[in-house]
């Protein structure tokens, strides 16, 4: 891992990241219809998320508009695409704390692309970016206890389970107990 400054460089914001099979890039308003059709309208995909299944492309456009606006403030939200440009998910950092040099990860992969390693590949790339380029010290993430597949992605990326948070966030099934994971810059193995 590269050395980083004492203070995070939050001004980097969402920059393109290329991996072996993926391109992580900024969202565009033109992504709304694909995003709606591919995952935000899918009840199974939204089941364990903090957001509710979208009922119309207009809801998805509102979400993307918020992310696009956040780019002006240095926000971190990537569209996950295959190298051919197919949009398959999203990954981002929420609640960045400058003082603690920490942030919370969140991601979603469209159901047709589950169990292919894309979530792991995207998460590894974002962890490396946030530690090496931005200079964060800690990244954390949660998954509903009913969604252990998400925890396996976190573990593959070197995140460590820290405990259970009762009624942490609301999912489609109601308030969910969540498993809390974290990774520190000093613990990150070469990604």
Tally the C-alpha atoms within 13 A of residue 75's C-alpha that lie toward its C-beta: 19
pTM of structure: 0.90
pLDDT at position 188 is 81
Contact 157, 184 (CB under 8 A): no
Q: How many residues appear in the chain?
A: 191
Of 119-123, 130-134, 160-164, 168-172, which range is least confident? 168-172
Are the beta carbons of 39 and 52 closer than 8 angstroms? no
pLDDT grade, residue 8 (50/70/90)? very low
Q: Helix or strand or coil: residue 89?
A: strand
- Enter the tokens of residue 78: 């990537």
9-23: per-residue pLDDT in tens?
556 789 999 999 999
* CATH code for the domain defined by 10-140: 3.40.630.30
What's phi and psi for 130, nearest 5 deg? Answer: -70, -35
Can you give the pLDDT at residue 127? 96
pLDDT (tens digit, 9 = 90+) per residue, 136-181? 999 999 999 989 999 999 999 999 999 999 998 888 888 989 999 9
């Amino acid at each position: 891992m590269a050395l980083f400054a004492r203070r995070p460089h939050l001004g980097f914001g969402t920059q393109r990241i290329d991996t072996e099979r993926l391109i992580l890039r900024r969202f565009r308003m033109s992504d709304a219809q694909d995003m709606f059709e591919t995952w935000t309208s899918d009840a199974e995909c939204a089941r364990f998320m903090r957001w509710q299944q979208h009922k119309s492309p207009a809801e998805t456009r509102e979400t993307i508009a918020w992310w696009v606006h956040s780019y002006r403030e240095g926000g971190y939200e990537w569209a996950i695409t295959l190298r051919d440009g197919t949009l398959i998910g999203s990954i981002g950092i929420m609640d960045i704390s400058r003082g603690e040099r920490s942030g919370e990860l969140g991601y979603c992969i469209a159901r047709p692309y589950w169990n292919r390693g894309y979530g792991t590949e995207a998460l590894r790339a974002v962890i490396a970016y946030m530690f090496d380029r931005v200079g964060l010290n800690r990244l954390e993430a949660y998954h509903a206890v009913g969604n252990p597949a998400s925890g396996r992605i976190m573990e593959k990326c070197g995140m460590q389970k820290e405990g259970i948070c009762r009624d942490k966030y609301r999912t489609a099934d109601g308030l969910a107990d969540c498993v809390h994971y974290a990774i520190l810059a000093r613990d990150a193995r070469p990604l």
